[in-house]
Amino acid sequence: ASEGKDGASAENTPPQVPQGKQGERSSVFYSAGQFFFEYLVVVSLKKMPDGRYEPKITYQFPKRENLLKGQKEEEERLLQAIPLFCFPDGNNWAPITEFTSETFSFVLTNVDGSRKIGYCRRLLPSGRGVRLPEVFCIISCLGCFGLFSKILDEVEKRRQISMAVIYPFMQGLRESPFPAPGKTVTIKSFIPESGTELIELTRPVDAHLEHVEFQALLQRLSPHLILHIFASAMLERRLIFLAEELSVLSQCIHAVAALLYPFTWAHTYIPVLPECLLDTVCCPTPFMVGIQMRHLERVLEQPMEEALIVDLCEGKIIRAVGDEEEILPGKLQNEMLISLNRHNNNNNVHTSEQVNALVSEAFVQFFVRLVGHYGSHIKWGRSGSGSFQERNFCKAIASRSCRRLLKRFVKTNMFSLFIEEAEKSRIPQEGNG
């Protein structure tokens, strides 16, 4: 299993959940030399007087001291929100004897727009008889899901021995710098009866694909449906994804958001929506959320506006706006279908990295064809600041269907944010940059 991310920004979200805001940047900065993580927390299920189980933090490393008042309040908000996202499936738990561990992730958005990713491994502690699962959650500002999944493998291996063996490993990790793309960091770790182990953690060369697993999407949805979803996301509509497994929701929604590269989804983004936040689907603003299949009836009963509802289990669309087939220009849509089908029909075994590169290239080329001339339509002043000439930019496209889509796309938040950055760069892009 791999993972995805999510953040909350509904108006009626409980106060303990950090708020997002419309128009914020959703990208995570990939910088080497930072701490790997801020916290490791363990979230366990505690039985309440009424017989229900509630998730509570039972372990935190490191403990933070000497914080200023504002920092302390932010930390408390963060720590209150984590259990909700570690057990988003509510109170449907009872002691069990067997459980296959699963990996998923989420993002919490602070009031200033900064984001923290929670990488989670839900597992059943070793032992005999019935017991409750627990979640190990690593909180980090860094987006590198494959690498953190490997770290969680090591945490799980140590958990089966003793909690005490986890601490020195995480301490060693915390003292190591986050590697640059393509580089490796080696962590020394001692395990009783096994001796000292050397654990190598390598970042992919292409940093923008290190947080993606496109194969998860291709296994569950046809290329045709993927393009319908992509078109809806491109116009910043409301998207709801349904599956039972947290890892499936997490992987697939993160893959959909990654199709938009080099643009970023800047609205509500919650790949695993906690049960208590189901009314998020009533928001009038754009959102991309994942909901467990068991809540489908409750979702359909909500008084929500038009939304695309996707069943990841059956690989079908449950509810659509109705124009998804017409959004993308026919010629470009066919080229992308050929590219995606070529991958699906190829009998050669591709690694995860190769699949990511192939799929990403198809969508990047789509954007190059549609908006690659944007740099030619930024007028540069003597001070070095740029001014985007939107009307001329749209008129420069000869194809009527492409121009129709472009006029809609330039009104989106993600395009506005992209152009704002380009106007500040002071380096005019070449025509097809």
* Distance separating alpha carbons of residues 34 and 39, to the nearest angstrom: 14
One-letter amino acid at 279 equals: D
pLDDT value, residue 113:
64
Q: In this structure, is the dihedral angle defined by the CA atoms of residues 342, 343, 349 and 353, taken in order, positive or negative?
A: positive
Q: Which is nearest to 203 in space by CA: 230, 225, 180, 170?
A: 180
Q: What pLDDT is attached to residue 119? A: 92
Residues comprising the chain, all counted: 433
Residue with tokens 């199709």: 259
Which domains, from first to last, does the chain contain?
39-208 (3.30.450.200), 212-427 (3.40.50.11500)
Task: Please report the pLDDT score of residue 282 as a whole number.
Answer: 92
What letter represents residue 386's amino acid?
G
Structure confidence at residue 426 (pLDDT): 63
pLDDT reported for residue 143: 77
The pLDDT score that the predictor gives to residue 75 is 78
Tens digits of pLDDT across the chain (433 residues): 333 333 333 333 322 333 333 333 333 333 444 678 888 999 999 988 888 888 999 988 887 776 666 677 777 888 888 998 999 876 678 888 888 888 998 877 766 667 788 999 999 888 888 889 999 999 988 777 878 888 999 899 888 888 888 888 888 888 888 888 788 888 887 777 777 888 888 887 776 776 778 888 999 999 999 999 999 999 999 999 999 899 899 889 989 999 999 998 888 888 888 888 888 899 899 999 999 999 999 999 988 889 999 999 999 999 999 899 899 999 999 988 888 887 665 555 577 778 888 888 999 999 999 999 998 998 888 777 888 999 999 999 889 999 999 999 999 999 999 998 888 876 544 444 4
Interatomic CA distance for residues 357 and 368, integer angstroms:
16
Q: What is the pLDDT of residue 52?
A: 84
